[in-house]
Amino acid sequence: MEQILLKNVEGAKLADINNYTAVGGYESAKKAITSMTIAQIIDEVKKSGLRGRGGAGFPAGMKWDFVPKDFKGPRYLCCNADEGEPGTFKDREILEKNPHLLIEGMIIASYAIGAELSFIYIRGEFVKAANTLESALDQARKQGFLGERIFGTDKKIDIVVHRGAGAYICGEETALIESIEGERGNPRVRPPFPAVVGVFSKPTVVNNVETLAAVPSIIKNSGQWYAAIGVPPKNTGSKLYAVSGHVNKPGVYELPMGTTLKDLIYNYAGGIKGNKKLKGVIPGGSSTPVLLPEEIGVSMDFDSLAKAGSMLGSAAVIVMDEDVCTVEESLRLSEFYAHESCGQCTPCREGTVWMTKILDRIEQGKGEQGDIELLERVSANIMGNTLCPLGDAAAMMMLGFLKKFKDEFALHIKSGRCPIHKK
């Protein structure tokens, strides 16, 4: 497969607009704005089968189509560049090395939903990426690709970089919207959905960086072309897989959707460091249930991973070798969720802290009989009882570790010590 998102990024300095246009950059935006109707664009994106790359996998074309056509007044596009899910470092590749591809995708998406102003919500820590984007936006404005009368038409589209300030929850779309509005990042009650009542109470589409960056290639080559890549009809296109943890070659790999987890770990990422054995792998970011070595034949796409009892999520593959203590790692993640819970919903706010306390005592060798069942009960009581998926994420993580490594948890409790760190 020819790369779509990371093609030429290593040598070509695509953050410079001259290099980007030299390889055909902004041709798709020009084509869309000057020769296509909104309906044609949405139709191509629907045909492509492109699904949201942020984690939920919602069809992008359908999301755009939900924006009420008869709404009078502004609509907004928000690009989610919060990249907060532990294990995920894929969008930074686009933001720093191919920013114009994202901007071009945003111009097309803005036009398709009728937005004149769009936001890139970028996590506050990504200072370098934010600066790269600002300078890329300036270059695009100077070329007449952004601002008033773009590509010589009467259309007006501009983009603002909005920096977050350190809150995982702001990757959740309604919390992201609150954060753009200058509020605490507390998720909203749905319905109404953002497509109807979003940022500044106006119709809003929130798309992930990788989703938007795929759009120019679809407009250039057709939806049908994109839909032939990967595992058609429902898991199409290329995917950025970010592999971290105990592998020889961690990194971001752009491959056809549906590459197997085994191929990713042992072929692309060069296998387990020090020739150790694989103990477990989290396939799609910290919130997705962990898989065992015998399960890595799974195809890395939305539907196959769901069938395997996990999720593609953000496709952030976290690899753990045989020396890892799964109680310790789930404790680390539980602490993370407790820290990042916005505190609005009681099950999440209290449950994640409770979970952390229990895991901590198990790891300290002070676990009690019944702690495993208690962890299961706490998780079950968070699941589905919160406004946003942060609580679910913590519960899914916990239940995944308990299901796959119950014996190790039990051994901690029975022997009164961590059998891995204190043999």
Partner 1 sequence: MIQFSQSAKDKVEALKRTYPTKDACLLPVLHIAQKEFGYISPEVMEYVAGVIGVSPARVYGVATFYTMYNKKPVGKYHVQVCTNISCHLEGSAKIVDTLKSVLGIEEGQTTKDNMFTLATVECLGACGFGPVVQINDDYYEQCTEQKVKEIIEGLRKK
Least separation, in Å, of the C-beta of 240 and partner 1? 11
Give 318's DSSP letter: E
Closest to partner 1 by CB, 34 or 131: 131
Which one of 101-109, 311-319, 359-367, 380-388 is the stretch in contact with partner 1 (CB under 8 A)? 311-319
Instruction: List the interface residues with partner 1, window 224-243 (CB under 8 A).
Output: 242-243
Closest to partner 1 by CB, 151 or 168: 168
**Contact call for residue 160 and partner 1 (CB under 8 A):** yes
**Contact call for residue 148 and partner 1 (CB under 8 A):** no
Q: Which of 16, 27, 125, 350 touches partner 1 by CB under 8 A? A: 125
Instruction: List the interface residues with partner 1, window 321-360 (CB under 8 A).
Output: 324, 329, 332-333, 336, 339-340, 342
Site map 62..101 versus partner 1, x via CB under 8 A: ------------x--------xxxxxxx-xx---------
Closest to partner 1 by CB, 26 or 337: 337
Least separation, in Å, of the C-beta of 100 and partner 1? 21
Q: Which of 282, 312, 358, 390 touches partner 1 by CB under 8 A? A: 282
d(CA 18, CA 292): 47
Which one of 10-18, 137-145, 248-256, 345-353 is the stretch in contact with partner 1 (CB under 8 A)? 248-256
What single string gives the DSSP state of each residue in 138-191? HHHHHTTSSBSSGGGSS--BEEEEEE--S-GGGGSHHHHHHHHTTS--PPPPSS
For residue 39, the SS3 value is: helix
Count the residues in the chain. 423
Which one of 101-109, 144-152, 160-168, 257-265 is the stretch in contact with partner 1 (CB under 8 A)? 160-168
Q: What distance, in Å, lies between the first and last C-alpha atoms of the chain? A: 48
**Contact call for residue 206 and partner 1 (CB under 8 A):** no
What are the structure tokens assigned to 157, written together?
Answer: 């589209």
The distance from CA 73 to its chain's CA centroid, rounded to whole angstroms, is: 30
Closest to partner 1 by CB, 45 or 136: 136
**Contact call for residue 132 and partner 1 (CB under 8 A):** no
Closest to partner 1 by CB, 181 or 368: 181
Which one of 28-36, 54-62, 156-164, 224-232 is the stretch in contact with partner 1 (CB under 8 A)? 156-164
d(CA 28, CA 30): 5
Least separation, in Å, of the C-beta of 114 and partner 1? 15
- List, in sequence order, every beta strand (DSSP E) within 10-125: 76-81, 117-122
The distance from CA 77 to its chain's CA centroid, rounded to whole angstroms, is: 17
The DSSP bridge pattern shows strands 251-256 and 238-245 to be antiparallel
Q: Is 87 left (phi over 0), alpha (psi -120 to 50) or beta?
A: left
Least separation, in Å, of the C-beta of 358 and partner 1? 19
What single string gives the DSSP state of each residue in 93-144? HHHHH-HHHHHHHHHHHHHHHT-SEEEEEE-TT-HHHHHHHHHHHHHHHHTT
Q: Which residues bind partner 1 (CB under 8 A)?
A: 74, 83-89, 91-92, 117, 123-128, 160, 162-168, 179-185, 200, 242-246, 250-252, 282, 286, 316, 318-320, 324, 329, 332-333, 336, 339-340, 342
